[in-house]
Copies of this chain bind each other. A is one copy, B any other.
Amino acid sequence: MLGKPRRLALLAEGSFVRLDAKTAIGVLRYRPQEVAAVIDSTRAGRTAETCVGVGGRIPVVASLDEAAARGADSLLIGIAPQGGGLPDAWRSVVRDALLRGWDVISGLHVFFGDDPEFRAAAERSGAVIHDLRRPPAERVVAAGRAGSVDALVVTTVGTDCNVGKMTTSLELVKALAEQGLKAAFVATGQTGIALADEGIAVDAVPADFVAGAVERLVVRAARGADVVVVEGQGGIHHPGYSGLTLSLMHGAMGEAMVLCHEAGRDSIRHSASRHEDVPIASLDRVCDDYERAASWRRDAPVVAVSLNTSGIDEGAARRACEEAARVTRRPATDPVRFGCGPIADVVRSMAARRARATSA
C-alpha cells in the first residue's frame, strides 16, 4: 500500500463497529492480506469478522505493542469521523507509532504532516506520514473535459454518506473486469485512495476546485478504459455535503449513475450535533432528483440500485432488493451479498451500445 508492502495496524479505538470504522472495514474487505491487527482495546481478543463482518480471523488487539507482536509495521487510521478531526485519545498512539519508525497513513481532515509533534517524531525515526486527504497543489476549474472521454463514465451516488458508494464502485469494476471489459476505478475519498493507491479526497479540496479535481481524475482514468467508475461522495440531500456531491457529479460528467442506499435507513445519519431529522425520500424520488441534478450538465439515468443489506438477515435482504427494484423500476442488488451481476449487466450493455454508436 502506498509504495511498499506493509503489515498494517488499523487504529479503530472504541469505534470498531460497522458504521463507524469505515476506512478499517474497506481495507479489511479489499486488502486483508496487508492487515496485521486492528487496535480497539474495548474489543481486544475478538476477531475482525465478529466485530464488523469482514476480515476473518485478523485479531483485534489493545495496543501498539500487541500489534507489533503480530508483525505490524505501519499504522492506518481506521475511522473517518464526521468533521475529520483527531480524537484526543489517539494522539499518543500516533506519536508512539511514528517514534517506532512506523509509517502513519491518515485520512483525517487534520493533516498529521502539519502537526509539529508528529513531524518531529517522524523526522527522528525516519517514518513517513501519508495524509490521504491533502489536496493536490494543482488547482483546476472544471470545464466539461470529462464529457468528451471515450470511456463510459458511471458515477455512484447515494441517499446518504456511508451507504456503500465506494464498495459498489469497486465491486462493479471487478465484475466488469470479469466480463472482459477494461474498467477503471476513480477514488475520491480517503479509503478509496488507500485501496487504489491513488486518487484525490475531494471533500478536502477548496470548493472552487472540486469539480476540476474530479474531471482531471476521470480524464486520466479514461485512457485505455472502456468504463470508468467514479466513487461518489455524500448525497445531494445531505445537510452538510450536498454541494460536494453535485461538484463530483458535474466534474465527472457521467452518462449513468448507480444509486446506493442502506436497506432500512430512513433518515440521514447525522453527526452528534444532529439538529433535525432529515428523512430519506422514497428511492424513486431520489432517482428523479439525481437525474434532474445531473441534467444541469449532462443527462444521465440512474441505471441500477445498489443496496447495502449488511445490517439485516438474508431473507430480509432479498425482499429489500425486490422492493427497491419494484419502487424504482430498475435492477437492484446487494453487490457484496448477492453479487454485482445485475448492475454490471446494465452497465456493460450501455458501454456496448455506446461503442457501437461511436464507431457507427
Contacts and interface: CB of A to CB of B under 8 A. Distances in A.
Interface of A: 82-84, 109, 135, 139-145, 147-148, 202-212, 236-237, 239-248, 250, 270-271, 273-276, 278, 289, 292-293, 296-297
Contact of A141 (B142, B148, B240, B248): B240
Contacts of A248: 243
Contacts of A242: 211, 246-247, 250, 296-297
Nearest to A295: B289
Contacts of A275: 143-145, 147-148
Interface centre among A84, A205, A208, A239 (most CB of B within 10 A): A208
Contact of A292 (B83, B109, B271, B292): B292
Nearest to A203: B208
Given A141-B82, A141-B271, A273-B143, A109 B243 contact: no
A276 B206 contact: no
Contact of A142 (B144, B208, B209, B240): B240
A82 B209 CA distance: 11
A202 B207 contact: yes
A262 B247 CA distance: 24
Contact of A243 (B140, B143, B250): B250
Given A83-B141, A202-B207, A243-B248, 6 more contacts: A141-B241, A143-B273, A207-B207, A209-B240, A244-B247, A246-B246
Given A83-B139, A240-B212, A144 B276 contact: yes
Contacts of A244: 207-208, 243, 247
Contacts of A245: 243
A104 to B, nearest CB: 21
Interface centre among A135, A243, A270, A271 (most CB of B within 10 A): A243
A292 B246 CA distance: 14
